[in-house]
């Protein structure tokens, strides 16, 4: 049949969540043959019409399949010339939709074309066979007995006998599949005779790998393609049609994925927060104990602490932390599954914490005494804060000196008691209202304003200096010379006018 070669780019994201993982052993089996049915599944050849039979399996996480086994009914001395394995997804993926209408339904059938494949001819698959003895099946469905509607129900092609063989396949190029629902399709070519894939019990026995939504096996030949028919419901039919699985097993490595979903954190500055910060799931369902996990919380303010794992409908992470200041913080929660000794899976997610304001500021005015033209430097107001954990560096202050000048203040203190100081020189005497404002730094919104009073005394008058004898004589001579010069200037002016 046609193959669809698909390039899958697996991008695991977290907008509100994120995942990461490691490899754990993966095995799957439908159980051993039950003798109820055998279906043709072989490539086309000389005088051979191609047929395919399919049975489903489910992957809960990304899986690398390295080996497979399946059971067939073969002639007594078979010569195997070809083994191929195809992986199909579930319709309508990789299919034309709406379908042709040549079959009763395509719901839950394999898709039109294969999603991935390996075969012995290209060398990405090797195989061995084991003869298990004589075997008889009650019914068969083979190419030539597969028809379009309305003639699809034939009751089957009757029983058959031969030898039971187990095919053990190694994928030298492993098949990597994301989580999903798939169909396994083996094809075997013989030098003579036909390969029939043996059925297994439905439902899958507990000794194998039962799973929910296990679909029945499907089949088609080249004349029906790209459509499929249900082996039991459509072809065998009857008042209560039988349903079949097919005998196969898979093994490889699955990726254990931890998906973390952050919680929205609401806290208050200076107040201890204690509550949930995230929930998470682990694709490895065997990890059911909180003891198998650990968590760390980066609170977004430069501190990190261990989280506590809780159980319930999903696993949870709780934490305890006190934010020193209000604001919005990015919180990163990392969960590790370290139960398996060969590795660990880690998932992380980024959430947010909104930390509210708890500061309530109040102020006490002071009286400032200074003198005109004399520099003042000192306290201008006292303030208190109900949040005693805030340092002085969390606040800013401004001082309006009442004479048209405003400057920044200096904040000192701790434990909820703060002093605002400033420096200023008044050029006028009098009484001035000094407005002092203390504000929490951004993004804080707390603020308080008080009105202090500055009393500025006039600058004192200076006494005239006493002149000593020679200083007084020099002053007398200078004044006399100045007077003589002034008199001469006036005489010159008069002569010029006359």
Q: In whole angstroms, give the CA distance from residue 82 to residue 375.
A: 103
SS3 494: helix
The pLDDT-based confidence of 463 (bands split at 50, 70, 90) is low
> Which of the listed residues 356, 372, 387 is the one where a domain comes to its end?
356
Whether the Cβ atoms of residue 364 and residue 448 lie closer than 8 Å to each other: no
The pLDDT-based confidence of 496 (bands split at 50, 70, 90) is low
pLDDT digits (tens, 9 = 90+) for 247-283: 999 999 988 778 899 999 999 888 999 999 999 888 7
Task: Name the token pair of 261.
Answer: 């979903």
Domain-embedded: residue 244: yes
Q: Residue 203, preceding bond cis, omega within 30 degrees? A: yes
Higher-confidence residue of 350 and 104: namely: 104
User: Residues 91, 239: one domain?
Assistant: yes
According to DSSP, residue 232 is labeled: I
User: Residues 115, 55: one domain?
Assistant: yes
> Which of the listed residues 215, 234, 255 is the one where a domain comes to its end?
255
User: Residues 206, 269: one domain?
Assistant: no
Higher-confidence residue of 489 and 29: namely: 29
pLDDT in the model for residue 322: 93
Whether the Cβ atoms of residue 120 and residue 167 lie closer than 8 Å to each other: no
Residue 399 pairs in a beta bridge with 407, 436
**Cα 498 from chain centroid (whole Å):** 110
pLDDT at 6 over 50: no
Closest alpha carbon to 160 in 297, 38, 323, 66:
38
Closest alpha carbon to 410 in 385, 393, 389, 426:
393
Domain-embedded: residue 397: yes
Task: Name the token pair of 75.
Answer: 């002639």
Least confident of 135-139, 333-337, 342-346: 342-346
CATH code, domain carrying 411? 2.60.40.10
User: Residues 148, 46: one domain?
Assistant: yes
Most confident region among 316-320, 385-389, 474-478 by mean pLDDT: 316-320
Q: How many domains does one find in the chain? A: 3
Closest alpha carbon to 425 in 405, 408, 397:
405
Pairing of strands 218-221, 126-137: unpaired
Q: In whole angstroms, give the CA distance from residue 32 to residue 37.
A: 12
**58 Cβ contact partners less than 8 Å away, ≥ 6 residues apart:** 180, 181, 182, 211, 213
User: Residues 192, 130: one domain?
Assistant: yes
pLDDT in the model for residue 9: 27
User: Residues 107, 160: one domain?
Assistant: yes
Tell me which residue range forms the domain holding 329. 263-356
pLDDT in the model for residue 233: 98
Q: Residue 173, preceding bond cis, omega within 30 degrees? A: no
Domain-embedded: residue 79: yes
Pairing of strands 345-356, 265-268: parallel
Domain-embedded: residue 313: yes
Whether the Cβ atoms of residue 365 and residue 451 lie closer than 8 Å to each other: yes
b/e burial code for range 155-167 (CB count within 10 A of at least 16 → b): ebbeebebbbbbb
User: Residues 134, 157: one domain?
Assistant: yes
Tokens 């439905």 locate to: 202
């Amino acid at each position: 049949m046609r193959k669809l070669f698909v390039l899958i780019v697996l991008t695991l994201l977290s907008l509100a969540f994120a995942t990461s993982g490691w490899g754990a052993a993966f095995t799957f089996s439908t159980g051993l043959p039950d003798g109820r049915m055998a279906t043709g599944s072989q490539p086309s050849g000389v005088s051979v019409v191609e047929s395919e039979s399919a049975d489903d399996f489910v992957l809960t996480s990304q899986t690398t399949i390295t080996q497979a086994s399946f059971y067939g009914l073969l002639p007594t001395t078979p010569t195997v010339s070809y083994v191929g394995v195809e992986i199909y997804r579930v319709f309508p993926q990789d299919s034309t939709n709406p379908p042709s209408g040549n079959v009763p339904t395509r719901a839950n059938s394999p898709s039109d074309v294969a999603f991935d494949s390996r075969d012995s001819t290209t060398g990405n698959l090797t195989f061995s066979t084991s003869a298990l003895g004589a075997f008889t099946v009650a019914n068969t469905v083979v190419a030539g007995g597969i028809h379009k509607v309305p003639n699809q129900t034939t009751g089957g092609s009757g029983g058959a006998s031969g030898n039971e063989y187990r095919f053990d396949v190694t994928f030298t190029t492993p098949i990597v599949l994301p989580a999903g629902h798939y169909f396994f399709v083996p094809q075997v070519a013989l030098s003579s005779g036909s390969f029939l894939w043996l059925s297994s019990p439905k439902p899958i026995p507990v000794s194998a790998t039962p799973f929910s939504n296990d679909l029945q096996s499907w089949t088609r030949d080249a004349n029906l393609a790209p459509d499929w028919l249900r082996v039991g419901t459509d072809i065998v039919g009857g008042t209560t049609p039988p349903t079949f699985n097919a005998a196969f097993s898979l093994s490889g490595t699955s990726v254990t994925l931890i998906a973390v979903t952050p919680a929205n954190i609401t806290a208050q500055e200076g107040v201890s927060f204690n509550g949930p910060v995230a929930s998470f799931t682990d694709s490895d369902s065997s990890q059911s104990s909180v003891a198998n996990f650990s968590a760390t919380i980066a609170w977004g303010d430069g501190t990190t602490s261990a989280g506590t794992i809780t159980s319930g409908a999903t696993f949870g992470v709780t934490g305890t932390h006190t934010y020193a200041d209000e604001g919005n913080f990015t919180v990163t929660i990392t969960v590790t599954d370290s139960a398996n000794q060969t590795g660990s899976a880690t998932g992380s997610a980024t959430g947010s914490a909104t930390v509210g304001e708890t500061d309530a500021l109040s102020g006490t005015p002071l009286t400032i005494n200074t003198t005109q033209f004399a520099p003042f430097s000192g306290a201008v107001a006292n303030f208190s804060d109900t949040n005693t954990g805030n340092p002085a560096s969390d606040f800013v202050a401004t001082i309006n000196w009442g004479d048209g000048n405003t400057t920044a203040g200096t904040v000192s203190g701790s434990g909820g008691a703060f002093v605002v100081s400033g420096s200023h020189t008044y050029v006028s005497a009098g009484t001035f209202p000094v407005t002092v404002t203390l504000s929490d730094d951004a993004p804080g919104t707390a603020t308080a304003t008080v009105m202090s009073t500055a009393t500025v005394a006039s600058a004192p008058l200076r006494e005239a200096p006493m002149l000593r004898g020679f200083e007084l004589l020099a002053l007398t001579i200078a004044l006399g010379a100045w007077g003589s010069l002034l008199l001469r200037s006036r005489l010159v002016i008069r002569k010029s006018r006359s």
